[in-house]
Amino acid sequence: MDIEVHEQPISFDLWGLSGDVPNFEFGPTGKKLMDEMWPRIKDNGLPHKGINFWVYDSAQHMFTGVELKDASNIGDLLEHKPVNIPKYAYYKYVGPYDKLGDTHRDFEKEMDARGLTEIGPRVERYGDWVEDENQLVTEIFIGVK
């Protein structure tokens, strides 16, 4: 696995929903949060950049969100989650979403081999949807020290 380590900070200004993750069921939990978040965005005509993010704060809690173009009238409709990662490991994964768990485990092994310590958060930034799931792009950012 060819991961990159970046020492220049990266930031995301996200708006969405968070929730607890039972029994490490990240996929179903994230989907449930997204299914609740998107109608709020669409029904309220919130301008957004269209890219989905999943943020893993811990093994028990996650956040799903998007970057908004204008959050001035958001009120309490969505949670605000600014994410700043000073140093991070990065990997661009291309393939089906159901293999992301394996990808994260391989990522962890590679970080261990390089002596990198995870300090979080973990962020997945999803590319545009394509019908061929083998061409789906997910960028993974993991805060390290």
- What's the confidence (pLDDT) of residue 58? 84
What domains, with CATH codes, occur in the chain?
4-144 (3.20.80.10)
Give every residue of the chain whose pLDDT is below 70, as ranges. Answer: none
What local confidence, expressed as pLDDT, does residue 132 receive? 97
pTM for the model? 0.94
Q: Can you give the pLDDT at residue 128?
A: 92
**Tens-place pLDDT, residues 101-132:** 999 999 999 999 999 999 999 999 999 999 99
Predicted pLDDT at 64 = 98
The neighbouring-strand residues paired with 68 are 48
Residue 95: its pLDDT value, please? 97
Which residue type, as a one-letter code, is found at position 136?
Answer: L
Burial-class residue 139 by CB neighbours within 10 Å (0-12, 13-18, 19+). Answer: middle
